[in-house]
Amino acid sequence: MNILQNISLKKYNTFGIDVSARFFVEVTSLLQLQKVLELKSYPKKFVLSGGSNILLTKDVDALVIYINLKGKTVLNQTEAKVLLKVMAGENWHELVLWCLEKDYGGLENLSLIPGNTGTAPIQNIGAYGVELKDVFESCTAMEIASGELVVFDKEQCRFGYRDSIFKQKAKGKYIITSVNFWLTKKNHPITTNYGAIEEELRNQDIVYPTIQDVSNAVIAIRQSKLPDPAQIGNSGSFFKNPIVSKKTFEKLKKEFPDAPSYSISKEQIKVPAGWLIEKCDFKGRRIGDAGVHEKQALVLVNHGNASGVEILDLAQSIQKRVRETFKIDLQPEVNIIR
């Protein structure tokens, strides 16, 4: 086991924030992970995976454990379905592409989401009408205190909108080591009724889309408005889309008749945070190297050398202005490490 010291974490977080880890270790097997967790000489430990949903605001004074567990295994299959086990360190988009190659359906709407498979259940990643929970069977996690492996089934994960037990009761207690998915092998259900997918397929003259077509459409849409973290540091949507009561929304609509919305239930309405932020004139704004993306106001970006604190300051100014203008509180989706 190779424990390094004072390692820059710039390439380990998609925001590209240049802070350092006091100690750093990469783990590639479950046994190694167990051994690292047992190390008494490093009492403070910090788990890092794809680094696509965190904002680091200072050096990490702990042993950073970089989860690099790899592997994909078919556990079970019928003529119509396959149960796939994927280790936590597998890159998410590479997994999606691998499934398309095998003609396994279910993940295509989630194409091009940055990050690794093991962190996908934590915030129940979602895009274009599909959430991770729709294909999730179970996940295995190592309890940090004991090093024991525990299986969480779908119900136990308590999935919600960008939420799960791993952001609530189980927060900081487990490391997800692998995730099992049920995927389809034929007659793939196709979800195209959300966002701009239908329009994109129409533009391409596709009437009966395959899962590959859906993936291509999602990739085209994402590339047209979301910045590529390899080019410009970001963490996808910085805030969650707020869910407000119908009454609150009706009041808002009186003042802002163009306010977009999605109905969640009889009583609840989701308002796109990107619209709220754009209305407050933040779209494309830049303070030093911290900025709001010019094509998607929900995405904060690092134009080069922004510090985590600068991004956080910008996020807080946005929250303040949105609260003053709309009386709506924006909750960060990104995990802020202070």
* Catalytic positions: 162, 237, 333
Tell me the CA distances in angstroms from 129 to 50, 178, 191, 242, 272, one per residue in order: 23, 24, 7, 17, 15
Nearest to 49 by CA among 26, 19, 72: 26
State in angstroms the smallest separation of the CB of 148 from ligand EPU: 31
229 vs 308, beta carbon nearer ligand EPU: 229
Alpha-carbon torsion, ordered 119, 122, 124, 126, to 10 deg = -40
Phi-psi region at 311: left, alpha or beta (left = phi > 0; alpha = psi -120 to 50): alpha
State in angstroms the smallest separation of the CB of 247 from ligand EPU: 21
Residue 52 neighbours by CB distance under 10 Å: 22
State in angstroms the smallest separation of the CB of 183 from ligand EPU: 20
27 vs 244, beta carbon nearer ligand EPU: 244
177 vs 235, beta carbon nearer ligand EPU: 235
64 vs 271, beta carbon nearer ligand EPU: 271
33 vs 301, beta carbon nearer ligand EPU: 301
**Contact residues: ligand EPU, CB under 6 A:** 127-128, 195, 236-237, 240-241, 260, 272, 274-275, 278, 283, 296-298, 333
Residue with tokens 């047992």: 38
Q: Specify the long-range contacts of residues 252-257, CB closer than 8 Å, at least 24 apart.
A: 252/326, 252/328
Distance, CA of 57 to CA of 47 (rounded, Å): 16
Classified as helix, coil or strand, 284 is coil
Is 157 exposed, middle or buried (CB count within 10 Å of its CB: 0-12, 13-18, 19+)? Answer: buried
State in angstroms the smallest separation of the CB of 28 from ligand EPU: 27
Distance, CA of 195 to CA of 200 (rounded, Å): 10
Distance, CA of 31 to CA of 303 (rounded, Å): 39
310 vs 333, beta carbon nearer ligand EPU: 333
209 vs 236, beta carbon nearer ligand EPU: 236
Distance, CA of 97 to CA of 127 (rounded, Å): 16
State in angstroms the smallest separation of the CB of 294 from ligand EPU: 9
State in angstroms the smallest separation of the CB of 223 from ligand EPU: 12
State in angstroms the smallest separation of the CB of 60 from ligand EPU: 23
Rg (CA), the chain: 20
Is 289 exposed, middle or buried (CB count within 10 Å of its CB: 0-12, 13-18, 19+)? Answer: middle
271, 261 contact by CB (below 8 A): yes
